[in-house]
Structures are given as C-alpha cells and as structure tokens.
Amino acid sequence: MQLMKSSYTELTARGHVTDLLKPDETLEMLETYGFAVTQSPSVTVSTADAHREMAAIRSDFGLGEPYVPLLYRDRDEPIVTEVTRKGGSDHPVFHTGEAQGWHTDGLLEDIGTIKTTLLYCVSPAHRGGSTFLLNAGRVFDELRAEDPEAADVLLQDTILGRRSTIPGVDREALGPVFLELASGHYATRYGEGRVERWYPRDAAEQHALDRALRFFRARRDDPDVRIDLLLRAGQCLIFRNDVLAHGRENFTDDPRHPRLLLRSLHTNAPKKTS
Ligand SMILES: [Fe+2]
C-alpha cells in the first residue's frame, strides 16, 4: 500500500469509480488510496442484486464471510446490515438521517481488527448522505514529524475509550489511536464524535493530546487527505477500515424511495485471489 504518500486531490480530477467486472483495477485503487468504488453493470439494482454483487466482491478479494462486531453479538442483527432511516429504532447511527462524525467501524474491537468495510448503495438519499474518508495514517505521520510528543500520546494503549451509545448497552473498549504496523503503515481507531472518552494520565499528556486533536481538526478537511463520496445506486464503496477514518453527511429522504445502503465488515484485507 502506498497510502502514506497518496493524494486524494488527483483522484477528484481523475475519477475513482471502477468496473465491478475488473477486480485488478479495483485492487490497485485499494492499494494506492485505501478505497475503491465499484459500479454495477446493471442500470437499476434491487436489494437482491446488491447482496449478489457484495458476495461477488467478497469472493473476488478474499474477504471471507462478513464479521459480526462484538457490540452486536447478543442482538439480533443480520450480518449484512441495512443502513436506512427507521422510525422507532434505538440504533444511534444506522437508522437515522443524522450526520456521523469521524470514526472507524468496530467500536469494541481491538485496533486493526476490522480491515475492510463494504457499503453498497441500493438507493441514495433525496439530498445529502455523502460518505467521507480520511487518510488518517498520513496525517498521523505528519504529526509525528511536527510534534512527536503529541503523536506519542496517540500511540498509548489506554488513551482512547470508545463507549457504546446504544441505550442499555453499557460497554467501553480501551486502546491506542494509532498502532505502527510492520508494513510502515499505521492502523487507526481515530474518531471524534459521541463515543470517544480520552484518558490522558497527567496534565502534560492532556496538553499533548489537545495539540494532537487540534492538529487533526486542522488537517482533516484538506482535500489531499480527505475525499467525499456520494454513492449512486449500484455503487459499492470498499475501504480499508483499519487505516482510514470515515464519517457521513446528514441526509433527507424521499419517503417513497428512502436511502438504503448495505454494510458488511470483514477481518481480511482485500487481496488478489486469481
Ligand atoms: Fe461507519
């Protein structure tokens, strides 16, 4: 993966959607940018088509069966989740049209566990609903060069707790924000939203943490490290959940055609299978 040197600015001009039937192109995109978007050959897609195409993607890239996150093990959740607005749901994210701040999937999992997320768009929102991606490792590398003390705090293994916001589910998992991998890349669980709890051990760490988070806030809107994608019907976003952070813009639905995305999580990274 050349991700640490990649610039998203060039992609915005060049385009980033690949043909579902050309896995090599998609894999190259994934290795260079940490994500790819495939386009279905069909003009219109049903939910059944989406499931079939997601199965083809899992098989093409050796992703294996979808992984059920720890948070949902005792709930009756399907392994491919429907992300759509639903009245009466207690889920704080899946079933609302609200914006969702920066995060990585797998609230309770150890850093780097969920390596790949698939998000298949069956039907887009009437307005809004973009997904944004952040090359978090590249920003962290910049922070390391500029303020090593601030970067070190993010490597500490008890600095970040992520707490469930599902009513009645009182669980929290501690871990680092970044972990250096043998490949020279960083795994991440960077986020700034409603689930994060920060645990600096003293005032000096608190200051260093404040600087680190400020650095991320200042960098994360730069189009070189961030890209916003509005998925169309029949497009599937494949991204490296272990190295990119992501979030979602709010959206409004046309009640006759509500936004519907299917999501699955995988502990394998995409790889060549043929
Ligand atoms: Fe997510």
Beta strands in the chain (DSSP E): 17-19, 35-39, 81-84, 100-103, 116-123, 127-128, 131-134, 160-163, 172-175, 178-180, 186-188, 196-198, 226-229, 235-240, 245-248, 251-252, 260-266
Alpha-carbon radius of gyration of the chain? 18
d(CA 187, CA 101): 19
Which range (25-39, 74-88, 162-176) has the least confidence?
74-88
Which tens digits make up the pLDDT trace of 164-208? 988 888 899 999 999 999 888 899 999 998 899 999 999 999 999
> What is the token pair recorded at 153?
């705090």
Q: 216 with 274: CB under 8 angstroms?
A: no
Q: 265 with 80: CB under 8 angstroms?
A: no
- Determine, yes or no, domain membership for 272: no
Q: Are strands 81-84 and 127-128 parallel, antiparallel or unpaired?
A: unpaired
15 alpha carbon – ligand 1 mean position (Å): 23
204 alpha carbon – ligand 1 mean position (Å): 32
pLDDT at 86 over 80: no
Nearest Cα residue to 107 out of 70, 148, 52:
70
144 alpha carbon – ligand 1 mean position (Å): 26
163 alpha carbon – ligand 1 mean position (Å): 15
30 alpha carbon – ligand 1 mean position (Å): 18
Q: Which residue has the higher pLDDT, 161 or 2?
A: 161
- Determine, yes or no, domain membership for 27: yes
- Determine, yes or no, domain membership for 128: yes
pLDDT at 66 over 90: yes
Q: 42 with 234: CB under 8 angstroms?
A: yes
> What confidence score (pLDDT) does residue 228 get?
95
CATH number at residue 260: 3.60.130.10
105 alpha carbon – ligand 1 mean position (Å): 5
94 alpha carbon – ligand 1 mean position (Å): 9
Which range (7-11, 132-136, 156-160, 218-222) has the least confidence?
7-11
Which residues constitute the domain of residue 206?
A: 3-266
- Determine, yes or no, domain membership for 273: no
Amino acid at 84: T
82 alpha carbon – ligand 1 mean position (Å): 12
Q: What is the mean pLDDT of the chain?
A: 91
d(CA 172, CA 190): 15
Entry pTM = 0.93
Which tens digits make up the pLDDT trace of 122-173? 999 999 999 999 999 999 999 999 999 999 999 999 999 999 988 888 899 9
Number of folded domains in the chain?
1
Beta strands in 86-163 (DSSP E): 100-103, 116-123, 127-128, 131-134, 160-163
Nearest Cα residue to 101 out of 247, 199, 214, 254:
247
- Determine, yes or no, domain membership for 274: no
- Per residue in 246-270, is it b (16+ CB within 10 Å) or e — as a string? bbbbebebeeeebbbbbbbbbbebb
Which tens digits make up the pLDDT trace of 223-260? 999 999 999 999 999 999 999 999 999 999 888 889 99
119 alpha carbon – ligand 1 mean position (Å): 9
> What is the token pair recorded at 9?
């600015």
170 alpha carbon – ligand 1 mean position (Å): 20
Q: Give the SS3 label for residue 272.
A: coil
- Determine, yes or no, domain membership for 146: yes
- Determine, yes or no, domain membership for 40: yes
> What confidence score (pLDDT) does residue 95 get?
74
131 alpha carbon – ligand 1 mean position (Å): 9
d(CA 191, CA 103): 4
Q: Give the SS3 label for residue 268.
A: coil
> What is the token pair recorded at 69?
């996150």
Rounding to the nearest 10 degrees, give the CA dihedral for residues 249, 195, 176, 203: 110
d(CA 254, CA 81): 21
Q: How many residues does the chain have?
A: 274
> What confidence score (pLDDT) does residue 87 get?
67
d(CA 87, CA 95): 8
State which H helix or E strand residue 219 sits in: helix 203-219
247 alpha carbon – ligand 1 mean position (Å): 6
Q: Give the SS3 label for residue 71.
A: helix
203 alpha carbon – ligand 1 mean position (Å): 32
